[in-house]
Chain A
Amino acid sequence: MPVDVAPMRTENLCRWWPADLKLGLALLAILVVGLLSPEQWPAAAAVGVLLLMGHALAGTSLTWICHRSAVWLSTLVLLGAAMWWSIPTAAAGLWLWSFFVRCAVAVLAGLWLMQVLSAQELLVTLRRWHVPGLLIVMVSFLLRYLVVLWEEHERLWRAQQSRGAGSATSWQLWHLALERVGMLLLRSLDRSERIHRAMLARGWDGSPRGLE
């Protein structure tokens, strides 16, 4: 799986906090910085410092935070280019700086939540928040079969490479990638058929149930 998750440390102190508290804190931080005006950017930065302390409690490495934060740089580059085109003024500079701080704090909050909330906790919290059962079942299917599908994708890619995909031109590589996704789709549809039959054999009647 190419998902860039920092290695979980045993000294992750936030791991044992209630899931509602973790979700609530992350949302509160994002909401507070969203409501601040551009002139109040130091307050947003203070929330960012609190989140960095949260990351320290969770045992996240600074390198990983910097690496993940670089993902949203494209948005800032786009906005910066748009502002450069529009003849920037001092007010525009302040607006862009506060925008940068706000986004950085929101990214820190999202990354902190990613480090401290597990998939199982998410499912339990969604059920507790009375999210429709069908949606929770779909989320659990996604989480369960994502890894399986990715392993399937790796197998298909290895098979294509053994048949000479390594020396293919870029056009052929595009074609091979489409074939891989198409094959993955067919296999996942077959798998969903098998799961459906297994669910029917265990008494599935279309209504969601959880292991209480």
Chain B
Amino acid sequence: MHIRDGILSPEVCAVAGVVSAAAIGYSLRQLSRQRDSHAVPLTGMVAALVFAGQMVNFPLFGLPVSGHLLGGVLAAALVGPWAGCLAISVVLIVQAVLFADGGLMSLGVNILNMAVIGCWGGGAMYESLRRLVGTNLRGSLVAVIVAAYLSVLAAAACFCGEFVASAHDIPFPVQPLTWFMVLYHALIGIGEAAITGGVLAFVWSRRPQLLAASETSVPSWRPLTAAGVAVACVIAAVLSPWASEWPDGLEAVGDRVGFNDLGQDRVLLLSDYALPVPSGWEAVSVSAAGVLGTLVVLCVGWLLISRVTPSPVPVPDASHAG
């Protein structure tokens, strides 16, 4: 999963670097706010552990390739998303600079895919699933296994997006690459989920208080949501003008079968992801349409969730009881 230099364009690396730097800064701020001096050596030790874990590659069911632990969800489950994000970032910095594993220019991309998505996204998924299925051992195991598996797929999907944004002049369709990436990482995800679940089960059986202690560092969903919306807006604003001009899978099939011309006059607004602007401003138009679409989807989603979520039951005041 370590992306090497030369694969992605400098522009994409620069944007991902800025997003990753902001994520590291935010994580450092959150960690400093906890005022727990133990967090620094603990994060350093977890980083060393993940580094050692990433050196052990596991075979992929007889295929001539191998995978290794990403460790984002494991770190988030053990020390929380902020310290976990910093631990994985530190691992990636040392691997890139001192061990030539992963690129220097693509360091920001690697941090975004493995540390930010792995720990923030995977950690949020883990906590949400735990609340859904239960915080006992069984619930936690199900949550961590699913979150670890999905975090690998999310990182692979992000790479595909970054690759398409980098190589917008790529002379062949990128769908096969996407399929290969998803299939390959669907197998790696099994190893990641097995290792993460196995380690968590072992820790639970030997030292359950460690996992109980990490629950205190569960973040509120509000900053996570705000960070997610910010990342989505940045991607929509900055990367969308470089989107590949090749048709997607459905359009390619539509071209071949001949149903692409149907329904073209039914577009209400933002036709082909663009706002009506003067010529020469097409890139700005696509960015603005991307941000607008993201915000509209957010508002609709928010509205739907607020409608279907039951309002909290009022707790009777104990002083009036009896």
Contact = CB atoms under 8 A, between A and B. Distances in A.
B206 A86 contact: no
B198 A178 contact: yes
A118 B242 CA distance: 38
B250 interface: no
Interface of A: 2-3, 5, 23, 26-27, 30-31, 33-35, 68, 71-72, 74-75, 78-79, 81-83, 85-89, 91-92, 95, 99, 102-107, 109-111, 113-114, 117, 119, 122, 132, 134-135, 137-146, 148-150, 153, 174-175, 177-179, 181-186, 188-189, 191-193, 195-196, 199-200, 204-206, 208
B206 A145 contact: no
Contact of A86 (B4, B94, B172): B172
The secondary-structure label for the interface of chain B is helix
B199 A99 contact: no
Nearest to A34: B10
Contact of B96 (A74, A88, A110, A191): A110
Interface in B6-43: 6-7, 9-10, 13, 24-25, 28, 31-32, 35, 37-38, 40-43
15 contacts: A3-B55, A34-B5, A78-B181, A82-B174, A110-B104, A111-B100, A114-B98, A134-B32, A138-B90, A146-B52, A178-B195, A182-B206, A185-B49, A188-B45, A189-B42
Contacts of A149: 45, 48-49, 52
A52 to B, nearest CB: 15
B316 interface: no
A33 B170 CA distance: 17
A185 B94 CA distance: 20
Contact of A150 (B37, B52, B93, B180): B52
A130 to B, nearest CB: 12
Contacts of B167: 95
A192 B171 contact: no
Nearest to A101: B6
Contacts of B96: 110
A141 B45 contact: yes
B37 A142 contact: no
Contacts of B35: 206
Given A145-B48, A184-B49, A81 B180 contact: yes
Contact of B180 (A82, A182, A189, A206): A82
A71 B207 CA distance: 38
Contacts of A34: 5-6, 9-10, 13, 105
Contact of B31 (A134, A143, A208): A134
Given A134-B40, A142-B90, 6 more contacts: A30-B104, A82-B177, A83-B176, A106-B4, A110-B104, A142-B48
Interface string B190-211: 0000110011001100110010
Contacts of A91: 171
A54 to B, nearest CB: 14
The secondary-structure label for the interface of chain A is helix
A30 B91 CA distance: 21
Interface in B180-232: 180-181, 184, 194-195, 198-199, 202-203, 206-207, 210
Contact of B170 (A95, A182, A204): A95
A150 B49 CA distance: 9
A189 B45 contact: yes
A4 B232 CA distance: 39
B108 interface: no
A22 B96 CA distance: 14
B5 A139 contact: no
Contact of A139 (B37, B94, B199): B94
Interface in B87-115: 87, 89-91, 93-94, 96-101, 103-105
Given A33-B6, A92-B171, A188 B48 contact: yes
A138 B86 contact: yes
B37 A82 contact: no
